Amino acid sequence: MPTFEVPGAELAVALSDEGGHPVVQLHGLTSSRARDRVLNLDLGRGLSGTRLLRYDARGHGLSTGRKVPEDYQWQSLADDLLRLLDHWFPGERVHGVGPSMGTGTLLNAASREPDRFTGLTVMVPPTAWETRAAQAANYRVAAALIESVGVEAFLATTRGATPPPATIGAQDTVPDVADALLPSLFRGAALSDLPAPEAVARIDVPTTILAWVDDPGHPLSTAESLAALLPQATLTVARTPGDVETWPNILSQDVARRG
C-alpha cells in the first residue's frame, strides 16, 4: 500500500491512473475511502479516463496519526492536501471532490491556493461560521464522553438519531478511526471552520455544491451561503437516496467540463 509522509503522520494513498485530468478525492470526519464507499459517498467510482488520487486523512482509515487535536484542524488537513498535490501532480491544476470535512479541507486549501484547482465538487458542507460554535461544543462533549465511558458506549448514544431522508436505507457503519485517536479528531474538528466569507468569495473556480436536507450537522444554510459567496457556484439539493445516486454522474460531468 503506498504511503505518503507528512509531519506527524503517514497517509495511505491510492492512484487510479487512466490518464486524463487529475482529480483528488477526500472523505468526511471519522470516515475513510473504504467507509465512504459503503456510505455511497465515493463519487469517484463513476469516473473513467482520469488520474484519481484517493487518500485517507491523517488519523483515519489506514493512515496514521497522533493524539494532537491541532493535527486534525481543517487548516492542517489542507496543508496535507497541498503537499499531496505537490508530490503527485506537481505543477498541475486539479479537480477536488469531498464531503463534509473533505469540503472544509478543500475550501481551506483553495482559499490559500485557488490556482491549484480547475474546479471543486463539494458535498454536504458542514456547519460553518454562525452554526459552527454549537457543533464544536457537540464535538468537545463527544470527546469527553469517549474518554469517560469508551467508544462503544458513546456510539450507543448516537444510535436512534433520525437520518437525513437522502440517506435512508444506507448501511450502518462505525468510525474508521483507532479508538485512541477519536477524541483528538473530535477536538480538532471543534477547532475548525471554513475560511472567512471574504476568503471563500475569492475562490473563483467552477464549484458544484451537492447538499441534502434535514441534517443538523450539514445544514442547508451552509450550502446556500457558499452558493451565494462563491463566484461560480451551482447548488443541487438531494431529498431522496435516488437523488444521491445521481451525484457520481454530476462529478463526471464536472471533471469533463473543467478538465
Instruction: Report mean pLDDT in 10-residue bins for the chain, 259 residues.
Output: 94 96 98 94 93 98 98 98 98 98 98 96 98 97 96 89 91 94 98 98 97 97 98 98 97 89
- State the pLDDT at residue 186: 98
8 A C-beta contact, residue 237 and residue 220: yes
* The three cell numbers locating residue 254: 464536472
Phi, psi of 186 (to 5 degrees): -65, -40
- Would you tell me how many other CB atoms lie within 10 Å of the CB of residue 155? 13
- State the pLDDT at residue 160: 78
- State the pLDDT at residue 259: 60
Each residue of 144-179: pLDDT tens digit? 999 999 999 999 988 878 899 999 988 889 999 999
* The three cell numbers locating residue 112: 490559500
How many angstroms separate the CA atoms of 179 and 147, rounded? 10
This prediction has a pTM of 0.97
How many domains in the chain? 1
How many angstroms separate the CA atoms of 258 and 231, rounded? 15
Each residue of 48-77: pLDDT tens digit? 999 999 999 999 999 999 999 999 999 999
- State the pLDDT at residue 1: 75
Full residue range of the structural domain in which residue 151 is found = 3-258
CATH code, 158: 3.40.50.1820
Identity of the amino acid at 61 = G
- State the pLDDT at residue 161: 83
- State the pLDDT at residue 214: 97
Indicate the length of the chain as a whole number.
Answer: 259
When computed from its CA atoms, the radius of gyration of the chain, rounded to whole angstroms, is 17
- State the pLDDT at residue 46: 85
8 A C-beta contact, residue 43 and residue 123: yes
- State the pLDDT at residue 157: 87
8 A C-beta contact, residue 124 and residue 218: yes
How far is it between the farthest Cα atoms of the chain? 50
Residue from 4, 64, 12, 5 nearest 33 by CA: 12
